[in-house]
Chains A and B, each alone.
Chain A
Amino acid sequence: MIELDQVSKTFSNEETGHLVQALQGVDLTVGENEFVCLLGPSGCGKSTLLNLVAGFERPTAGRLLFEGRPVRAAGPDRGVVFQDPTLFPWLTVAQNVDFGLRNLGLEAAVRKETVRHFVSLVGLSDFARARPHQLSGGMKQRVQLARVLALNPRALLMDEPFGALDAQTRDRLQDQLLDIWESHRTTVLFVTHNVEEAVYLADRVAVLAPAPDGIIADVPISIPRPRDRYSEEIREATMALIGVLADLPCCVLPSRRAGDTPSRAPVTTKPG
């Protein structure tokens, strides 16, 4: 479904000419209808990896396949849910959900029915005519989910979608996401730095370490669904993963001048 083979991504800072190695030699495979969480400390390149799969960025080296074909550009077959709500403020909730459907060239009647279905699926029927700024953070994320689900994507790419929400809202949205996933099975690649979230949601957790390490652990979570987030099994799996993460350097982005030899030593420390 999604295959990364020795994928690397280097950014160059336009002003300083410094090269930043965000990803180096990453291997990862996500199977059909699998729910994979990509877990790692901040600044280790999780979002970069997701942006590559989404087609927003191109890898500098390596092979990246989606359904057997190289990823060239972003498209509605890979629905992205961003951490920051990127709903268009000039459109209502319904119009935001309709945006992608219009691009598909569907008939107005079909579009209207699809919009209605997915807006009610995320429980926002009463807010169909509201504008994004009138919604809470959790509601905005639900609209983001609705607008990509409406396009019937082959995969959902979620970039810390609940990261900016309070704990209670996050729990509710996680359950809602799992409910929807049970009824509309798709492949999910879910980026998070929250260990409990990863264990609760995923079939498999891939732990990403800062370059040049790549994926350092690939842990299947075989706890049967529906899961109880307070159960002993979840707690144990969480503790085991925290142990893996504890060995990682935190918040580190190795950055070096063009031409320097790669080294493990972190040169700059980036916040957040």
Chain B
Amino acid sequence: MSSSPGSDRPAPDAFPQPIAPTAVGRRRGPALRLARRLLWPGGVTAIAALVIPLALWWGLSAFVMHLRHVAFPTPYETILRLMELVRGRLLNDATVYRHVADSLQRWALGFALAVGAGVSSGLLLGWSRLLERLSMPTVTVLQLVPGLAWIPVAILLFGIGERATVFMIAVTALAPIVINTTAGVKGVDELFIRAARMMGADDRTLFARVLLPGSLPHLLSGLRVGFANGWRVLVAGEMIVGTGTGLGYSIIQSRWTLDYAGAFVCIAIICAIGLLVERGILLPLERRTVERWGLARTG
């Protein structure tokens, strides 16, 4: 979600807003004033943020082609390939829609498992000092394991196939969700717990109506990190899928088919979907929760 100046909802503070010249502003140096004038229309910054990386990409591909004489796809070629694929041309014997849908499905299943397991264990770890001391070292280690390192574990546990991929997504998304939920529960003010008990809350009510909402800002941060981890490990996960579809699978296959433009399209789609979920769903959700409850972000 980009904050185009023309959109009807107030733009989030992603880009500097026009600042009225104030006494404080005038006292600042001329360099700063110049910088501010250059940055002034938020749209210019937004366009620059898009154009500069594209230009760098273009330069890089020209450079590589000149130096190594290999066809490094340019942004233009990538977009052409994207158009073809969008129109239904097959990539590795399947449409790009099929690849996207299969990847999303695997990711959704893995992420759902991670959320279920991560939130419930995070609530418990946040509640019980003993459980936290027993389990947190393991969770911390889990977080340090690189995504690719799970491949042998996944194969040993589930063999080659869908379940191994889903496992990899789930296991990489799990740790940040557990860690953040635990921190969130521990951060819930003791007075809230006392007040709830005073009003007759039993353990279930306490978890569902106090600890869970109380830890929500942290929990949502955990979901964002967990989502990103799971989505990134998709490529590695689909390396071991036997079915032959998926964005990650297509990227790996480009080694044999030499369809590098197609691979670049898949990379771009992975980035775009990631950005869309992160900026379009998770971040606004987090902001809205925090703002609506008048909570200041802590930690």
Asked if B194 is at the interface of the complex by the 8 Å CB criterion, the answer is yes
Asked if B200 contacts A151 (CB within 8 A), the reply is yes
Chain B residues with CB under 8 Å of A99's CB are 196, 199, 201, 209
Asked if B153 is at the interface of the complex by the 8 Å CB criterion, the answer is no
Question: Which residue of chain B is the closest to A95 with respect to CB atoms?
Answer: B209
Question: Which residue of chain A is the closest to B290 with respect to CB atoms?
Answer: A89
Asked if B201 contacts A103 (CB within 8 A), the reply is yes
CB distance from A150 to the nearest CB of B (A): 9
Chain B residues with CB under 8 Å of A79's CB are 198
Interface residues in A35-63 (C-beta closer than 8 Å to B) = 54-56
**CB-contact partner of A89 in B197, B198, B201, B295, under 8 A:** B295
Q: How far is the CA of A80 from the CA of B199 in the complex (A)?
A: 9
Asked if B187 is at the interface of the complex by the 8 Å CB criterion, the answer is no
Q: How far is the CA of A75 from the CA of B191 in the complex (A)?
A: 14
**CB-contact partner of B194 in A56, A131, A151, under 8 A:** A56
**CB-contact partner of A147 in B189, B199, B209, under 8 A:** B199
Asked if A131 contacts B294 (CB within 8 A), the reply is yes
**CB-contact partner of A90 in B196, B197, B216, under 8 A:** B216
Interface residues in A124-155 (C-beta closer than 8 Å to B) = 131-134, 147-148, 151
Q: How far is the CA of A75 from the CA of B202 in the complex (A)?
A: 10
Asked if B200 contacts A80 (CB within 8 A), the reply is no
CB distance from B189 to the nearest CB of A (A): 7
Could you tell me how many residues of chain B have their Cβ less than 8 Å away from some Cβ of chain A? Answer: 22
Chain B residues with CB under 8 Å of A163's CB are none
Chain A residues with CB under 8 Å of B200's CB are 75-76, 100, 103-104, 151
Tally of contacts, chain A with chain B, CB under 8 A: 70
Q: How far is the CA of A74 from the CA of B192 in the complex (A)?
A: 13
Question: Which residue of chain A is the closest to B191 with respect to CB atoms?
Answer: A86
Asked if B293 contacts A76 (CB within 8 A), the reply is no
**CB-contact partner of B199 in A55, A76, A132, under 8 A:** A76
Question: Which residue of chain A is the closest to B216 with respect to CB atoms?
Answer: A90
Chain A residues with CB under 8 Å of B191's CB are 82, 84, 86
Asked if A73 is at the interface of the complex by the 8 Å CB criterion, the answer is yes
Q: How far is the CA of A80 from the CA of B195 in the complex (A)?
A: 8
Chain A residues with CB under 8 Å of B294's CB are 89, 131-134
Chain B residues with CB under 8 Å of A74's CB are 194, 197-198
CB distance from B272 to the nearest CB of A (A): 33
Asked if B214 is at the interface of the complex by the 8 Å CB criterion, the answer is yes
Asked if B199 contacts A131 (CB within 8 A), the reply is no
Chain B residues with CB under 8 Å of A104's CB are 200
- How would residues 93 to 120 of chain A score, 1 for a CB under 8 Å from any chain B CB and 0 otherwise? 0000001101110000000000000000
Chain A residues with CB under 8 Å of B199's CB are 76, 99-100, 103, 147-148, 151
Asked if A80 contacts B198 (CB within 8 A), the reply is yes
Chain A residues with CB under 8 Å of B202's CB are 103
Asked if A11 is at the interface of the complex by the 8 Å CB criterion, the answer is no
Asked if A103 contacts B210 (CB within 8 A), the reply is no
Asked if A204 is at the interface of the complex by the 8 Å CB criterion, the answer is no
CB distance from A79 to the nearest CB of B (A): 7
Asked if A90 contacts B194 (CB within 8 A), the reply is no
Asked if A9 is at the interface of the complex by the 8 Å CB criterion, the answer is no
- Whether A86 touches B195, Cβ cut-off 8 Å, given contacts A76-B200, A100-B200, A103-B202, is yes
CB distance from A98 to the nearest CB of B (A): 10
Question: Which residue of chain B is the closest to A100 with respect to CB atoms?
Answer: B199
Q: How far is the CA of A84 from the CA of B194 in the complex (A)?
A: 12
CB distance from A163 to the nearest CB of B (A): 15
Q: How far is the CA of A74 from the CA of B201 in the complex (A)?
A: 10
Asked if B292 is at the interface of the complex by the 8 Å CB criterion, the answer is yes
**CB-contact partner of B293 in A55, A56, A80, A89, under 8 A:** A89
Interface residues of A (CB under 8 A from B): 54-56, 73-76, 78-80, 82, 84, 86, 88-90, 99-100, 102-104, 131-134, 147-148, 151
Q: List 20 A-B contacts (CB under 8 A).
A: A54-B198, A74-B194, A76-B198, A76-B199, A79-B198, A80-B195, A80-B198, A84-B191, A86-B194, A86-B195, A88-B192, A89-B293, A89-B294, A90-B216, A99-B196, A102-B205, A103-B205, A131-B292, A134-B294, A148-B198
Q: What are the 3 closest A-B residue pairs judged by CB atoms, nearest first?
A: A133-B294, A100-B199, A103-B200
